[in-house]
Amino acid sequence: MPDVLPRTPAAALDEARRRFTAAGIPEPRREALRIWADLADCAMGDVLLGREQPIAPELTDRFARAVSRRAAGEPLAYVTGRAGFRRLTLASDHRASIPRPETELLVELALEQVQRGGAVDIGTGTGCIALSLALEGRFSEVLALDLSADALALAEQNRRSSGLPVACVRGDLTAPIASGAVDLVVSNPPYLTEGEWTSLDPAVRDWEPRLALPSGGDGLAATTALLDDGRRVLRSGGWLALEVDAMRAGEVARRAGALGWTAVTVRRDLYGRERYVLARRSGEP
């Protein structure tokens, strides 16, 4: 930022836009506006309406620091500390991966199958899936589970600020869940291969927790473990809803069928990519 602090949002936004353009950030104007709106806790339209008003030096200062972080490549949701997911605005920081739009559809698909009884979100991260299930479903109990103590602390923070009835539990996949305890298991587990993680866009790989991304040499370690033990934790007739990599959806469905799941279907995201596998636990144990 220049030596003299900008005195209006318009000047500050203009300077930020120049820095973002130089740093190769897509949509530099929109991102500058988004950061300002989040820091000022107002809508983007309100920022534009007041763009020629004098501003508090404290806000200008915070904006300048946020712009420097974003220009250095830090993801927008970590810089602003916020991420939108379905009907929620969640706290977001380096402790957990950033919720993605495709996961919003996973919640939709899960809720189409089950809305009552017990639900568990495995690998909860920010808590986005579990909190949405609690907000939009009619479950008697929702568990948010993660192996990462950091992610779970962030999920707990989001649980407290949302006031939603979700229990945050630390543990390894389905291990902490009693047999036949739930009607719905939803998970967006780590699903990249080690090789895919290495060649991932640095904007993701260098900032988001490694534990959230790769899962064994074939990318299927967590997914296969969920297929293996998921039937144990579900009541008869319960559903499993998984987010998967588009290249491996068919393989996940094949493994599900081989492990005794019924009604196995592969579903597509809004771009037509095969990104979800749904499966049901039949009556037999």
Cα separation, 33 vs 55, in Å, equals 15
Q: Does 212 engage in binding with ligand SAM (CB under 6 A)?
A: yes
Least distance (Å) from ligand SAM to the CB of residue 197?
Answer: 12
**Sequence-separated (6 or more) residues with CB below 8 Å from residue 168:** 124, 127, 143, 144, 145, 146, 152, 155, 156, 159
Q: Does 211 engage in binding with ligand SAM (CB under 6 A)?
A: yes
**Three-state DSSP state, 113:** helix
Per-residue string for binding with ligand SAM, 44-63, x by CB under 6 A? --------------------
Tell me the residue type at 157: Q
Q: Closer CB to ligand SAM, residue 190 or residue 219?
A: 190
What one-character DSSP code corresponds to residue 210?
Answer: G
Of 48-56, 62-70, 183-191, 248-256: span binding ligand SAM (CB under 6 A): 183-191
Q: Judged by CB under 6 A, which of 189, 214, 219, 238 binds ligand SAM? A: 189
Q: Judged by CB under 6 A, which of 15, 31, 146, 274 binds ligand SAM? A: 146
Cα separation, 248 vs 236, in Å, equals 27
Least distance (Å) from ligand SAM to the CB of residue 33?
Answer: 25
Burial of 207 (0-12, 13-18, 19+ CB in 10 A): middle
In the complex, which residue's CB is closest to ligand SAM?
Answer: 123
Q: Does 125 engage in binding with ligand SAM (CB under 6 A)?
A: yes
Q: Judged by CB under 6 A, which of 96, 164, 168, 244 binds ligand SAM? A: 96
Assigned token pair, 111: 């809720």
Q: Does 104 engage in binding with ligand SAM (CB under 6 A)?
A: no
With b for 16 or more beta-carbon neighbours within 10 A and e for fewer, the 9-29 pattern comes to bbbbbebbbebbeeeebeebe
Assigned token pair, 187: 């998970």
Of 56-64, 118-126, 133-141, 250-258: span binding ligand SAM (CB under 6 A): 118-126
Cα separation, 275 vs 33, in Å, equals 32
Q: Judged by CB under 6 A, which of 60, 158, 162, 188 binds ligand SAM? A: 188
Least distance (Å) from ligand SAM to the CB of residue 257?
Answer: 24
User: Beta-carbon neighbour count of residue 44 at 10 Å?
Assistant: 13
Q: Judged by CB under 6 A, which of 120, 128, 166, 227 binds ligand SAM? A: 128
Q: Report how far Cα 68 is from the mean position of its chain's Cα atoms.
A: 24
Cα separation, 245 vs 220, in Å, equals 9
Site of interaction with ligand SAM (CB under 6 A):
96-97, 99, 103, 122-126, 128-129, 145-148, 151, 172-173, 188-190, 211-212, 222
